[in-house]
Amino acid sequence: MSAGTGTPQDVAEQAARRRTFAVISHPDAGKSTLTEALALHAAAIEVAGAVHGKAGRGGVRSDWMEMERARGISITSSVLRFEFDGALLNLLDTPGHADFSEDTYRVLAAVDAAIMLLDSAKGLEAQTLKLFDVCRHRRVPVITFVNKWDRPGREPLELLDEIEQRIGLRPAPLTWPVGTAGDFRGLIDRADRSYTRFRRTPGGATRAIAERVPADRAAAEEGDAWRNAVEELALLDEIGATLDPDDYAAGICTPVLFGAALPNFGVSALLETVCRLAPSPSARVDADGRERPVTAPFSGQVFKVQAGMDRAHRDRLAFIRICSGRFERGMSLVHAPTGRPLATKYAQTVFGRDRSTLDTAYPGDVIGLPNATGLTVGDTLYARTPVTFPPIPAFAPEHFMVARVTDNGRAKQFRRGIDQLDSEGVVQVLRSDLRGDQAPVLAAVGPLQFDVFAARMADEFNAPVTLNRLDYSTARITDKESADTLNGRRGVEVLTRSLDGALVAVFVDKWRLRAVEREHPGVTLTPMLAAGDSD
């Protein structure tokens, strides 16, 4: 068999089984809980907990970093791989906090679909809107799951109206709740009008007990809640709020399901919807605008680099989304940016922070390569037929700090840590001749990124740092000629981005930027992608 190809029929059949998707949400909407619930209903785990690892309870352990567990937020993304109903699912869990939008953006570059998770009481929140804009920009179709229906919240028709009015997606409910938010009785499946009532298990640690109830019995037992639900369903039918799969694939329509992830209500229906509607991997457009079909020789793109996942080894894992062909452990790949060969003897599959050896993989799958020196986010790997995929852009930073090692005797460890965390995308590292390598400028979308940086420098590299804030808030890409004009101007500094050598002009505020643009209309000041931009 040719390296990295398999037979076209084999690759096509395997790719058709794959569903690679992410969950996006505002913080506290229940994303980590839903991730556990999905794995639980797919029988990938036996017990779930509301907070990963809380009080010794089980879970997928996707929030593995100490800071994540201490603060109760997701800082990094992780990968969960499991099977359900004949499909192989690759669930890419993402950070919920806005300060880590850049990591979420990188994950969304590697998926074919997304679940947009809404809190039943809060609806569409700021971070959800930003992440949806990224999905729209990348043409990632969205399935909506209205969570926490077991708690007080808003009217379901009101939430549907908000989705349509605020983000322009036509909602098409697939399930409908019986009982108001906080008085959750069960769900009606709109396709066959069947009714399922749920009963939680102790602590919601295992799958909820589901009971199919005939309509006549439901009407007698649920009373007004049943009658209201039936009336609302009739209204939905009347206005044509039904699913068109083509409109969903085109990003015009979103299937909507209701449930509660904590007690595991309505999760199976969500999994079934992902398997049925989420697209399987398809041809990817390369940097030259040409489509590379899934049956072409192996190709893949690095979307994440992460160290510290295994404290016993303290290694560095590059996550690669397979775009085409069959991967076989031990095959030799080419690193597109350098043309150098890359060995894959130790390829792994990842489930949260747990790993196992991976022998074969197909388009849509995510493989982990430990200690693959030189790999950075956005790099393309290929076998036989050269290809380069478009880079994954960095976000425009809005916060800046100067980093210095507290102990000059740890300078070597300091430089190694700076380089590694830069390549992982924890922060962007900017340098200048004026400041020197001993005082690089760190640039970030959100200030929590600096906390992660400082914690990892101390823990992983034994190089504690001091961070001093710089009064910059706006960044633009510039060029050498413009840099000569900008350098020395008040409130402006030009720095070199370590990862790619780009010149970055930073300004104290947007008014200083506008003043410079007025005074020097010929200078190059190219905007960078901002968190939540759709262009």
Q: Which residues are documented as binding site for GTP?
A: 93-97
In DSSP terms, which residues pair with 306 in a beta bridge? 317
- DSSP SS3 for 79: strand
Q: Write the single-letter amino acid at 410.
A: R
User: Measuring CA to CA, how many Å separate 442 from each of 403, 448, 470, 480?
Assistant: 7, 12, 10, 21
Q: Write the single-letter amino acid at 246.
A: D
Q: Say which residues have a Cβ less than 8 Å from residue 287's Cβ, sequence separation at least 6.
A: 388, 389, 390, 391
Rounded-to-integer distance, Cα 234 and Cα 449, Å:
49
Rounded-to-integer distance, Cα 412 and Cα 418, Å:
10
Q: Say which residues have a Cβ less than 8 Å from residue 61's Cβ, sequence separation at least 6.
A: 52, 53, 352, 353, 354
In DSSP terms, which residues pair with 178 in a beta bridge? 186
**Cβ 245 vs Cβ 251: under 8 Å:** no
DSSP state letter for 266? S
Rounded-to-integer distance, Cα 266 and Cα 392, Å:
35
**Cβ 496 vs Cβ 443: under 8 Å:** no
Strand pairing of 186-189 and 366-370?
A: unpaired
Phi (first) and psi of residue 123, to 5 degrees: 65, -140
Rounded-to-integer distance, Cα 397 and Cα 414, Å:
22
Phi (first) and psi of residue 208, to 5 degrees: -65, 155
What are 467's two structure tokens?
Answer: 């961070």
Q: Which residues are annotated as a binding site?
A: 93-97
